[in-house]
Amino acid sequence: MTARPTPGWLKPALELGPVALFFAGYLWLRDDTFLIGGNEYDGFIVVTALFIPLILASTAALWWLTGKLSQMQIVTAVLVTVFGGLSVWLNDERFFKMKPTLIYLLFAAVFFFGLWRGRSYLQLVLSEAMPLTHAGWLLLTKRMAWFFVGLAVANEVIWRTMSTDAWVNFKTFGLPIAMFAFFIAQAGLMKTHATAPEGED
């Protein structure tokens, strides 16, 4: 599928918009209880039910506009559907709260598997944005894999020991901030292992 020309802000908006709407919806409905089909559902479950078609629609829009989807976008959409659906079906918010743990452990496992084979699967995703040497990619992938393990552990600790409010804030703000801080912390690695674009010395 051929990518269509789109404004630069549209792709980030489609990726981050569903999360922002989930947060706003949760703040709006968190204290409410809804009677649906004879069963009571709290605001978190209702917002989760609305989040599933929203993330699927944004993922479909990204594919239609750009002509491609990253593995992370596909996996995220699938796990949101599966674990969000389980939370709604069983009226149990724990399934949806476990979703980030499984996403991060899955990608950590993929990265570690690639390293075991002497390859960097992270390079397949970010090579155009960050030209690095092979050794640089292996080191960055190793750090990224352990970072994902740390995020998985943090998610488990927070949802199991803290309130739903704390978990929603962690998911909405903590995870993006942690990701941003991680890449800022890799500035030295990127400088040391940077490669010049083709045709330049």
Whether 137 contacts 122, CB under 8 Å: yes
Least confident span in 66-70, 143-147, 183-187:
66-70
Q: What percent of the chain has pLDDT over 70?
A: 91
For the residues 134-153, what does the mean pLDDT come to? 94
pLDDT at position 16 is 81
DSSP one-letter string for 60-105 = HHHHHHHS---HHHHHHHHHHHHHHHHHHHHT-THHHHHHHHHHHH
The CA distance from 20 to 13, in Å, is 10
Reported confidence tier of residue 6, pLDDT bands at 50, 70, 90 = low
The sign of the dihedral angle between the CA atoms of 123, 124, 128, 133 is: positive
What pTM does this model have?
A: 0.79
% of the chain with per-residue pLDDT over 90: 49
pLDDT of residue 184: 93
Torsion sign, CA atoms 181, 184, 190, 196 = positive
| pLDDT value, residue 143 | 94
Determine if residue 195 is left, alpha or beta; phi over 0 gives left, psi from -120 to 50 gives alpha, anything else beta: beta
Least confident of 34-38, 46-50, 175-179: 34-38
Average of per-residue pLDDT across 37-45: 87
